[in-house]
């Protein structure tokens, strides 16, 4: 009898704890969500993804405590379309913004009135919402105004082109232009982060979504000359380069390698301060923190991905649709809910839309491309997998890419040649995309041609010549 009683007690204990760790139990309280979005940070730019020259202890600690994805893809290979994909849950064949077109008087092409972002839905369902950093999806008062796309508060750069300057003459606080004189000499990334910390300190009982599209380490490569900067100058034994080099009409620093490393270290410091404040507020057990990047590493304004091995083993950088241009770090941390683990299944930025809405208990009523990652986060239930992933890029004569299982297909210069040949790679055997095996796989090429044509939904602002020819 005593063994039977012990067995029943043990079974009851196991079932009770299983319920506590189930997604249903975890989602009873709407979680806070903090989404840290680095700018042009490559797959290999942080220590836990293989970086050897730059120290990132806070990001590495996140990885140790949370879930690390090794095959996570950005929304695009440049800024604006990646952000559009994130907010709409649609890949770049479907999302409204597919390139970096300027839009007067400041900023980029605005998200249309018809677009409802997941942040709109969070806001309508009781969430406080705020963004600190770079917007790039529409000037204030246009249809793409961040205040119209779900954010109660926005502070930072409206225009991503102006965000190249880390000592700007103005930033935006919602619709208020905050002007700076040359005497102010404020490093904008620090100021944006300070506003983010203040917002986090003031959060109350409402669940919140905090979007942190930090500008670091986008070019221009420049950083305050503090102890961290000088540490890297010494570490790299870097000799000064010609200070007359220019970027967007402005002089670059003499020590670009030290400056870039110090920028990434600064980002790492920001991450550590966000995590520390969450813990100090006692809200860590109900706060999901995600760290990722908008696209691959840049070679602009002093960036040197070859020196830092910023794309790891992968071919390509920003503006490429090879793996190095679109595969990015992705770490998810939620103490007591997400276990320390590594996920080697592919996922993409447009998966955030359904993931966040499911966590908030909000039903999705429209067709999107994303799949919720909640089953992966909780490691319960079956995670749906994408049949394939699609990207299109509207600069450099037009480019397209597809991943279908192990197969990766790329088309270049499609606006010059609608019949451009397809490059084909087997990512299982050739993750570096070195051996084009299109000629040996005509059946796969035919399938890829069909998918390329299917996934580009015509948009007059973002035409691809191949689509016009094949209508």
Instruction: Indicate whether 369 and 396 sit together in one domain.
Output: no
Q: Is residue 340 part of a domain?
A: yes
Q: Is residue 144 part of a domain?
A: yes
pTM of the model: 0.92
CA distances from 98 to 86, 392, 399 (A): 12, 8, 12
Q: Is residue 24 part of a domain?
A: no
Average pLDDT in the 123-131 region? 98
| Cα 39 from Cα 48, distance rounded (Å) | 18
Of 359, 378, 397, which residue constitutes the final position of a domain? 378
Instruction: Indicate whether 251 and 394 sit together in one domain.
Output: no
Instruction: Indicate whether 448 and 319 sit together in one domain.
Output: no
Contacts of 95 (CB under 8 A, 6+ apart): 75, 81, 84, 85, 88, 350
| Cα 349 from Cα 109, distance rounded (Å) | 20
Instruction: Indicate whether 126 and 207 sit together in one domain.
Output: yes
Beta strands 327-333; 176-179: pairing state:
unpaired
**Residue 458 CB-density burial (10 A; 0-12 exposed, 13-18 middle, 19+ buried):** exposed
Instruction: Indicate whether 117 and 218 sit together in one domain.
Output: yes
Q: Is residue 17 part of a domain?
A: no
pLDDT averaged over the chain? 92
pLDDT of residue 8: 40
Of 355, 378, 401, which residue constitutes the final position of a domain? 378
Instruction: Indicate whether 206 and 305 sit together in one domain.
Output: yes
Instruction: Indicate whether 188 and 329 sit together in one domain.
Output: yes
Instruction: Give the model confidence (pLDDT) of 36-85 as tens digits.
Output: 999 999 999 999 999 999 999 999 999 999 999 999 999 999 999 999 99
Instruction: Give the model confidence (pLDDT) of 373-395 as tens digits.
Output: 999 999 888 999 999 999 999 99
- Which pLDDT band holds residue 244 (cuts at 50, 70, 90)? low
Instruction: Indicate whether 369 and 394 sit together in one domain.
Output: no
Residue 351 lies in domain: 31-378
Beta strands 153-157; 246-247: pairing state:
unpaired
Instruction: Indicate whether 312 and 429 sit together in one domain.
Output: no
pLDDT of residue 469: 46
Instruction: Indicate whether 259 and 399 sit together in one domain.
Output: no
Of 328, 351, 378, which residue constitutes the final position of a domain? 378
pLDDT of residue 246: 65
Instruction: Indicate whether 346 and 407 sit together in one domain.
Output: no
- What domain count does the chain have? 2
Q: Is residue 20 part of a domain?
A: no
Question: Residue 23: pLDDT above 70?
Answer: no
Instruction: Indicate whether 252 and 326 sit together in one domain.
Output: yes
Instruction: Give the model confidence (pLDDT) of 146-204 as tens digits.
Output: 999 999 999 999 999 999 999 999 999 999 999 998 767 789 999 999 999 999 999 99
Instruction: Give the model confidence (pLDDT) of 428-450 as tens digits.
Output: 999 999 999 999 999 999 999 99
Question: Residue 249: pLDDT above 70?
Answer: no
| Cα 36 from Cα 216, distance rounded (Å) | 11
CATH of the domain at 126: 3.40.720.10
pLDDT of residue 285: 97
């Amino acid at each position: 009898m005593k063994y039977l009683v012990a067995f029943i007690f043990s079974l009851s204990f196991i079932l009770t704890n299983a319920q506590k760790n189930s997604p249903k139990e975890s989602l009873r309280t709407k979680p806070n969500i903090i989404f840290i979005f680095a700018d042009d940070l490559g797959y290999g730019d942080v220590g836990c993804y293989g970086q050897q020259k730059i120290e990132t202890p806070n990001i590495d600690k996140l990885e140790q405590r949370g879930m690390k994805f090794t095959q996570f893809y950005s929304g695009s290979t440049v800024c604006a379309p990646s952000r559009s994909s994130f907010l709409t849950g649609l890949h770049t064949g479907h999302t409204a913004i597919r390139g970096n077109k300027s839009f007067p008087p400041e900023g980029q092409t605005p998200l249309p009135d018809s677009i409802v972002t997941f942040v709109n839905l969070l806001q309508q369902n009781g969430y406080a919402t705020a963004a600190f950093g770079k917007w790039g999806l529409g000037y204030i008062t246009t249809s793409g105004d961040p205040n119209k796309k779900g954010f109660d508060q926005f502070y930072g750069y409206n225009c991503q082109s102006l965000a190249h300057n880390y000592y700007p003459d103005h930033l935006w606080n919602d619709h208020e232009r905050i002007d700076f004189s040359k005497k102010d000499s404020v490093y904008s990334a620090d100021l944006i982060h300070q506003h983010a910390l203040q917002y986090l300190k003031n959060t109350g009982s409402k669940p919140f979504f905090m979007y942190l599209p930090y500008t670091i380490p986008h070019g221009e490569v420049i950083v305050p000359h503090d102890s961290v900067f000088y540490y890297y100058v010494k570490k790299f034994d870097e000799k000064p380069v010609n200070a007359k080099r220019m970027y967007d009409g402005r002089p670059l620093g003499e020590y670009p390698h030290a400056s870039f490393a110090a920028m990434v270290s600064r980002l790492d410091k920001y991450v550590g301060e966000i995590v520390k404040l969450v813990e100090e507020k006692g809200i860590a057990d109900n706060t999901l923190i995600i760290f990722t990047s908008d696209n691959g590493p840049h070679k602009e304004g002093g960036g040197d991905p070859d020196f830092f091995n910023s794309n790891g083993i992968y071919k390509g950088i920003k503006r490429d649709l090879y793996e190095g241009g679109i595969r990015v770090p992705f770490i998810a941390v939620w103490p007591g809910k997400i276990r320390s683990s590594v996920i080697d299944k592919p996922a993409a930025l447009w998966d955030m839309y359904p993931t966040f809405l499911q966590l908030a208990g909000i039903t999705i009523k429209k067709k999107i491309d994303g799949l919720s990652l909640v089953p992966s986060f909780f490691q319960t239930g079956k995670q749906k997998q994408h049949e394939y992933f699609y990207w299109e890029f509207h600069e450099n004569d037009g480019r397209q890419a597809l991943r279908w299982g192990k197969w990766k297909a790329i088309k270049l210069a499609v606006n010059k040649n609608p019949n451009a040949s397809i490059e084909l790679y087997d990512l299982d055997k050739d993750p570096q995309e070195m051996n084009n095996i299109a000629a040996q796989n005509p059946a796969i090429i035919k399938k890829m041609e069909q998918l390329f044509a299917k996934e580009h939904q015509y948009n007059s602002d973002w035409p691809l010549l191949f689509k016009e020819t094949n209508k």
